[in-house]
Amino acid sequence: GIAPKAVSESYDLFQRLGEYGVLARGVLHIGAHQGQEILEYDRAGVRRVAFVEANPDLATGLRQRFKDRSDVTVIETAITDRPGTVDFHITSMDQSSSVLPLHKHLDLYPKIRHERTIQVCATTIDSLFDQRVLDPGEFNVLSIDIQGAEFIALSGGLRSLGHFDAIISEVNYDELYK
């Protein structure tokens, strides 16, 4: 794996992946927010991107932003360890919204507050491929940043994880979410 490194403006993740022999053909990006990584993906020559976003308002914005890009797919769902519906906790700063409620996050970022909880559809990584929503041959990098729920999502992808040459994940070292 790739050792943790402080991210700076000059840090090129895809160059670093290349040092490990990984050439990103397609990225499954779970926790897309506004899809701001698309510039980095385009610069790296990524041919296919699937942005997955649970927040309905953000998913609508993503669909609008990428409506003219056939290489980008937007999927509105939460990724968890089982299909169904889940509570999604919307916060005052939408990047902090999660299927998990805030915990120590409240102490570290007191200006970011819980605003409301909504029900959203949920599925698994395995289901995205099993149900042919996505072609597993097109995606060899998984990027996942879903505010403390990464392990839950990965647990729902045990059969599919072998499709990926690299997994990029945010890691919290404290219980920011319950």
- Which of 147, 174, 163 has its CA nearest to residue 22? 163
Residues 99/152, Cβ–Cβ less than 8 Å: yes
pLDDT of 108 reads 65
CA distance from start to end of the chain: 27
Residues 49/25, Cβ–Cβ less than 8 Å: no
Taking the C-alpha atoms of residue 82 and residue 59, their distance in angstroms, rounded to an integer, is: 20
> 134-153, pLDDT tens digit by residue?
999 999 999 999 987 899 99
Taking the C-alpha atoms of residue 87 and residue 149, their distance in angstroms, rounded to an integer, is: 12
- Which of 126, 121, 133, 136 has its CA nearest to residue 156? 126
Taking the C-alpha atoms of residue 74 and residue 51, their distance in angstroms, rounded to an integer, is: 5
Longest dimension (CA), the chain: 43
pLDDT of 10 reads 42
pLDDT of 8 reads 43
| Segments of the chain scoring below 50 in pLDDT | 1-10
pLDDT of 174 reads 60
